[in-house]
Structure 1
Amino acid sequence: MQPENIGEALRDYALSELDAARLALASTEDAQAVHEGVHQARKAIRRTRAVLRMGDGILGPGAGLIDRELRALNTGLSQLRDAQALVETLQRLLAGKHKASVHTPLERVLDAAIAVRNACTTNAVLLDPGLASRRALLDVMHAALPALQWSRLTPSALRMALADGDALTHQARERAAQRDRDEDWHRWRRRARRATHQRRALEAIGVDVKAAADAADKRIAERLGRAQDLTLLLDYCGRDSPFSEEDRIALRRYAKPALERRRRRLTAAARG
């Protein structure tokens, strides 16, 4: 069973995600609400973009413009999100079992990470009170979205889009396994996540979709996210780190081999 007009149903789904993103960015009563709102908004924007990518080359030239603006908006929110993500990453790691040589520096850097997060929040709210300019941009995108050629999104076109997305995810997985570079692993994660969002969108409007290929499996996307925790931690252990040199050395010594192990398991799991 599927909706009578699949294009219009996807349009309405994308509009609802933009509504959710705007509402999330209105949550500015305290720092925690700001960061949770940014996190939810970025997810909703990615879901909207995943729908637009299913209509790539079909929805008309305006789709590319809207997609670029949404990508720029998400990129602009990334500093806020990364600051909160680091805090969450450290909290997750601290919940696990580690030697004192790892647990102690994790505890120390958590305090520094919270200070960085709070500074990012203060700066963002000062520069854009209530995140009003971001919400205004979402209003513009919301108004522009219905003008796209949604009627051209047919079931066959969407099946082809899913197949193409799975193929790109598979290619990204193979490239990550072969090259083992951070940017390639990040590309695999983005493409796996997009494939998951696209299936979620179709299921939400009542379209039956086949199970995801191994490379686009939701569980793989989740595992890639956990590996990204360690990548983020290593990024913050670089030259411009807010952490002490002693803590940076200790955390790099822990995170590098842990990341390598997770990536090996990911490659093995994806290949079945």
Structure 2
Amino acid sequence: TLILYSLFCFSCVSSDGIATCALARFHLGPVSDSVAPIRSGLNFLDLMTRLGAIDNLPKAPFTMGCELAGIVEAVGDKAEGFTVGQKVCAISDMKAWAEFVAVPAKHCYPLPDGVSYQDASALLVNYTVAHALLFDVANLREGHTVLIHSIGGGVGQALAQLCKTVPDVTVIGTASKAKHEQLKDVCQHLLERESCYVSQVKKIAESGVDLVLDCSCGEDVNKGYALLKPMGRYVLYGTSFFVSGETKNLFSFARSWWQVDRINPIK
């Protein structure tokens, strides 16, 4: 029996619940590719998964990881468009941290020349989420003003870069002071998250902002909601306040839920 090794999550209580485990090699489905990862991504979704803070969490133990880049090792009988030895990147369903990963062919993408395995493994989830938020959910248009919270994160930076593909979009970002030097070229206006950024946003966008993108939840929801212009959109796509250190912070989660619940929809 062929054996492969993967990083298993045995417990969602702390990082001690993750360990390397040997298991029997999977059977490759007809419309899947078997990929040998060279690099696997580690993003905020993985952190939330490890804490058990996402919906539809697999029953432990399970292999973690949701994005990878590597080489096609085998191709299913009915999988089209890929060949053994081809360089690819892929999105997997909680299985990327392993020596071999079975991925539906429709979730595999050829790796362009000049793109490293490391870069590719860090792009997929962040940019897929960012693209969906801007163009499917928020309907970003030319001339819009956008406020992005936590712009220093993976999705935050992806959002800022994709905003540049639309003409005349003004991007205002919030981030901790320690990240400002690194992020100075990411957006037109970079504000301190810990400061009174509301008054600064009002000076930049006197009539309000068209779009707020918030991955944190908490008290910023009500602040950002008040900054919207008529017909503006507030997109809440995460609750990072829920995470604090090695464990999930139930107090922060309860506080965030309470604050969001109190928004007046006809304000």
Q: What TM-score results when the alignment is normalised by the length of structure 1? A: 0.24
Specify which structure has the higher proportion of helix.
Answer: 1
Q: What TM-score results when the alignment is normalised by the length of structure 2? A: 0.24
Q: Which protein, 1 or 2, shows the higher relative CO under an 8 Å CA cutoff with sep ≥ 6?
A: 1
Specify which structure has the higher proportion of strand.
Answer: 2
